[in-house]
A and B are shown apart, each in its own frame.
Chain A
């Protein structure tokens, strides 16, 4: 296996200036391997979406990114605007949660796909037309020839998401950044889109970074996962390993919050309290006020990510105790 296609090191994203600056992403590092689907999981305010946007420096005014984002050996954060434009929507594409606002409502779909083809390929007009049709077929939109001339509002939610994926694929990207792409969709449509993304990953040899709050989606689609809390990665590992044996109390709590078959009408293993706001992140381990495993050291010292097992890292002082408590997810893996 070759090295990672994307290496992120010590990514720090802040908003605002001076003493009022809020740190949304606080020293995040991860790799994405070729053809790998990495899930970035967290609740609202965990910094997962900001992390994703920081990779392409797509931040609202006042946002500032530091650290290194190495894409094919080059630091995206150090690139000039012109170089960055070549990468954005080119080798790295992005899809969003709400396709209705991410698509331009007054342009037919064809124009929006061809626009991306014009920016990132050498195709002529005829070639672009043919290619946009191919892309619509590729993402599973029936009757592609006719639907190319329709406007975004004429598509259903699921079909709009397919259109957005078609636009993202126009430049033949090597990395797809997906920001909660199925959150606004119904479960049967979500299922279709998730399978589409996986099929495309296989067919086009893409890597995918998938931001979501839904552990079911992670379980069903991702190879590896990184759990974020209050702007930091608290646990990272292969999806199977993390689900089978979480090493961070927060991950364990999240897994326990999900109702499972066979335990109907029992109390869920909930996490008390609410995630902290950016302006009031507790000292020590940010999770300590909500943590059942918290000890003295958790309130004083912020834990760093440490290797717990091969390719399984967690930032928890009491990882042993959490591991000993076991996973709340009953797994077919463990049974068989």
Chain B
């Protein structure tokens, strides 16, 4: 088994609603959105791990826990043998440099008042990546790496298109020479033709710099294209994880099957006239008991609302959390 570089161990995260005075007086319980409910997942050195799921499945929260933008409520995130919650001061900054995040929104993830040069040189200086005299040279290198013209350095973010801004975001992350990149919906705000450019860039950089990438996205086609392994999340849990090919050709969890069936087929010859999944996402405030998917599952039986299924092996590197070993996908 390949060693895990970054792993989530039974991670849970709730976001409590603020309680008003009236709530306190009436001794109402704290209501909370249960964003993550015991996620265990390994990221191996050099791979791309795709994390897919629909909105509210907790994939972005998980990404933020992995880079410690959120601290988890239960469980822990381990990087290179160390629980990241224990890191302080210089050790924490070192971790921040080794595990970097790239954000979804190209319009809000860059400080509008700083030029590209300021953005990049700040990262280089704070982490003392280069002596002062070499900073300009390194900035030119970084811009070249993400295929931006050299004169981009002295412009402000508003002078760039969405795709170019995402490249600046990537350059900022690469400035601190990270080992792991966590990309949260990196291209979902971009036009299709620009998405392809950024995906190509990411693939190329991964080869060139030996990066480990966690690619969080809702677009199944993209995740399939870019990932070595894929984890599917539903309501704050990983329901299935497998090597990409196995997951897409032989999905073992009914939710994965529904998700794959629902994705519009790019080939007009394979059009289906049946909806892939019924029903809607239950509220993440009051989670259903037992298997979280049983309210929408075509295979649900009496055990599903009672027992919580654990992730169990389904093949080499393939695990699914379902009481059935191989539920038949609907035609």
Chain A contact residues, CB within 8 Å of chain B? 43-44, 156, 158-159, 186-192, 194-195, 198, 213-217, 219-221, 239-240, 243, 253-254, 256-261, 263-265, 267-272, 274-275, 290, 329-333, 336
Contact = CB atoms under 8 A, between A and B. Distances in A.
Contacts of A44: 191
Nearest to A44: B191
Interface in B157-204: 161, 163-164, 191-197, 199-200, 203-204
A198 B273 CA distance: 8
A215 B195 CA distance: 13
A329 B267 contact: yes
Given A213-B191, A261-B224, A240 B268 contact: yes
Please name the 3 residue pairs, one residue from A and one from B, whose CB atoms are nearest each other, closest first: A259-B225, A270-B196, A216-B264
Contacts of A274: 161, 163-164, 191, 194
Interface stretch (B4-12, B22-30, B255-263): B255-263
Nearest to B206: A265
Q: Which of A158, A268, A269, A330 has the most CB of B within 10 A?
A: A268
Contact of A189 (B197, B200, B280): B280
Contacts of B191: 43-44, 213, 274-275
Interface residues of B, number: 49
9 contacts: A186-B218, A186-B281, A257-B193, A257-B195, A264-B244, A268-B225, A274-B161, A329-B266, A332-B267
B262 A190 contact: yes
A72 B63 CA distance: 54
Interface of B: 54-55, 161, 163-164, 191-197, 199-200, 203-204, 218, 220-222, 224-226, 228, 244-245, 248, 258-259, 261-278, 280-281
A214 B266 CA distance: 10
Contacts of A269: 196
A258 B221 contact: yes
Nearest to B200: A267
Contacts of A239: 268
Contacts of A333: 267-269
B120 to A, nearest CB: 22
Contacts of B55: 186
B280 A256 contact: no
A219 B280 contact: no
A222 B194 CA distance: 24
A268 B195 CA distance: 10
A324 B220 CA distance: 30
A27 B164 CA distance: 31
Contact of A268 (B161, B199, B259, B273): B199
A39 to B, nearest CB: 11
Q: Which of B164, B244, B263 has the most CB of A within 10 A?
A: B263
Given A43-B193, A186-B54, A270-B196, A216 B224 contact: no
B276 A191 contact: yes
A166 B222 CA distance: 33
Contacts of B263: 187, 191, 216
Contact of B224 (A213, A217, A259, A332): A259
B281 A156 contact: yes
A258 B270 contact: no
A274 B192 CA distance: 10
A214 B191 CA distance: 9
Nearest to B207: A265
A239 B248 CA distance: 25
A29 B218 CA distance: 35
A187 B274 CA distance: 14
A188 B224 CA distance: 17
Nearest to A336: B269
B194 to A, nearest CB: 6
B197 A260 contact: no
Nearest to A223: B268
B221 A216 contact: yes
Q: Which of B199, B200, B269 has the most CB of A within 10 A?
A: B269
Given A186-B55, A187-B262, A189-B280, A219 B196 contact: no
A189 B267 CA distance: 20
A194 B225 contact: no
A18 B191 CA distance: 31
